[in-house]
Chain A
Amino acid sequence: MTKPQLSTLTAEPEVPELSELPAPTERRSRLRLPFSPWHLVLIPLSFLLVVPLLWMLVTSLETEGEANRFPPVLIPENPRFENYSEAWAAAPFGHFFLNSLMVTLVVLVSNLIVCSLAGYAFARIRFLGRGALFVTLMATLMVPFQVTMIPVFLIVKWFGDNVADGLGIDHIGALMLPNLATAFGIFFLRQFFQTVPVELEEAARVDGTSRLGVLVKIVLPLSLPALSTLAALTVLTSWNDFLWPLIVITSHDQMTVPLGLSYFQGAHRVKWPLLMAANVMSLLPMLLVFIGAQRYFVQSVANTGLKG
């Protein structure tokens, strides 16, 4: 391990940093070698990290005969794409995707709006009881979901019986309702709003713009990075949530993707190519979103990490 590191360092000429305030992430990168010896470490490492995903992909294209051979067939002779159409036909995957999409969208939009409003009020407005309310809401961050899940089940059941069927047990409304706002979202946006220069808002306030107007016209447009980061985190948690859907949903047409996949797994336990084809399909949307918006996903972790 030490050797390649030394050689990289010696290959890097010392550049005196005359420029003003070098970004901490900036690295000096003037290698004289045609390629860095680090690739010899990084290629196997990256390969090892994606082997589980690659193996899923390979198996999804094999016949059952190929999958049940040992040692395993590493490259299927004739890629069998029918596994995908068969998996799609064997369970209501269309429903699963649509349900996940609807739940995630509603939860996302609601969180962005509700947490923005509250986060802004906590950041800027001095209202009676602000401190006490903030501490009370933030206290819920310490409570593990397992403590609240049984009562939330009863509360959601009550909503279904007394308010609207669609909000109750075994409806996707039950997956949205408890997740429409999070204490973390409020905290996160409040921290960001506090860094927006207050002078910008005061000028508008003098002109008679309301608090809501200031938030919508001035603060939110300046907060797009924070909103995107929160959006990434919300999408990831909502889309991949499993325990709560498992508790409240039993009908196939109300299942989300992870729950539907788990149900599919139960029904096709050892048909590995079929199961892997279903797995690839269920992962694809999230993987594409993740790669497309990777920056925000990375920030959502890095930001929380540095705060802790």
Chain B
Amino acid sequence: MPLLLGRLGRTESLSGWALVSPAAVLIGIFGLLPVVMSLVLSFQHSDLLTPETPWVGLDNYRKLAEDPVFVEAIKHTIIYTALFVPGTMLVGLFVASAMNRSVRFISVYRTTAYITMAVSTISQGIIFLWLTDRDYGLVNAALNSVGVPSQPFLASPSQALYVIVAMTIWGWTGFSVIVYLAALQGVPAELHEAAAIDGATAFTRFRTITVPLLGPANLFLVVWLTINALQLFDEVYATTRGGPLRSTTVIVYYLWDRAFVQFDAGYAAAMAYALFVVILLITAVQFRIARKHAHIS
């Protein structure tokens, strides 16, 4: 399209702005303005109700560094993320590999994996509370049947976080399976045939052909799952409310609690900004690592 100048250029600008203005206004008010307001808020004291919000300088950030609950919440979030991200990817890759064939009813099989995506986080939480119930849970019945004694699971400070990991891996199976299936179907069959003729075993072919070609899917999942893991909230709210003994208090749960239960919005805003910076840094590092290994894909 030739660059239009003069009168026509001006009408182009007008029609362009006319078309983007609804989106620009909406995202401006609810996406951009809050980023600035949040930063301002993090240097103030606010209880969300009274209009006076006195400046407190860096106090909120200083408090953050010394807050034992926040430090604990970071620890729980890191443990959760470190288990959830690889766990979801392994389960996703395993299920997708098993479902990457053209057998009868394959679409039914795939639906059983995809469907987990449609289950709301609250429903998921309620189901897993019941499945892992200390006294009447199905999981404990299964454990008993192979000779393992009943476990307290979500009622135990030392187990609850891991139960939430397992539960959210289940909830994200659909998502990761879709991503891996799309990637696996992009692996050219010719490569496998050629390698098979050269005598490569199925496992060798998987390791040397399939896995390297999954590079972009792996990168996407690592980044996306990490971002979501750092923002874990719903599943904790639905099951343990941060307990028992704060053992599942993750960053966003603590942030929500501070802002909307204890009405300490300035402090919560500082916490949100800290989280924001951490997410940006981690994403940047992941992309950098991926670029280093980009020659594979």
- A interface, CB within 8 angstroms of B: 2, 5-6, 8-9, 14, 24-25, 27-29, 31, 35-36, 38-39, 41-42, 45-47, 49-53, 55-56, 59, 67-72, 114-115, 117-118, 120-122, 125-130, 133, 136-137, 139-140, 142-155, 177-183, 186, 198, 210-212, 215, 236, 239-240, 242-243, 246-247, 257-259, 261-262, 265, 272, 275-276, 279, 282-283, 286-287, 289-291, 294, 297-298, 301-302, 304-306, 308
Contact = CB atoms under 8 A, between A and B. Distances in A.
Given A2-B202, A262-B237, A147 B220 contact: no
Contact of A283 (B120, B144, B275): B120
A127 B17 contact: yes
A272 B112 CA distance: 24
B55 interface: no
A302 B182 contact: yes
B59 interface: no
Q: Which of B26, B141, B237 has the most CB of A within 10 A?
A: B26
A59 B137 CA distance: 11
A57 B186 CA distance: 37
A145 B231 CA distance: 9
Given A243-B256, A261-B126, 5 more contacts: A9-B196, A56-B130, A198-B1, A212-B19, A247-B260
Q: Which of A46, A153, A286 has the most CB of B within 10 A?
A: A46
B178 A38 contact: no
A52 B95 CA distance: 17
Interface stretch (B80-88, B151-159, B266-274): B266-274
B37 A151 contact: yes
Given A56-B127, A67-B136, A152-B30, A143 B276 contact: yes
B100 to A, nearest CB: 8
A216 to B, nearest CB: 12
Interface in B73-105: 95, 98-99, 101-105
Contact of B120 (A53, A150, A154, A257): A257
B27 interface: yes
Contacts of A72: 136-138, 141
B6 to A, nearest CB: 13
The 9 closest A-B CB pairs, nearest first, are: A127-B16, A308-B220, A151-B34, A151-B37, A118-B23, A148-B34, A140-B31, A29-B102, A121-B19
Contacts of B24: 118, 133, 137
Given A142-B280, A236-B118, A258-B122, A183 B48 contact: no
B196 A154 contact: no
B111 interface: yes
A52 B131 contact: yes
A140 B35 CA distance: 9
B173 interface: yes
A53 B127 contact: yes
Given A38-B103, A52-B131, A305-B220, A177 B30 contact: yes
Contacts of A27: 101-102, 189
B255 interface: yes
A8 B144 CA distance: 37
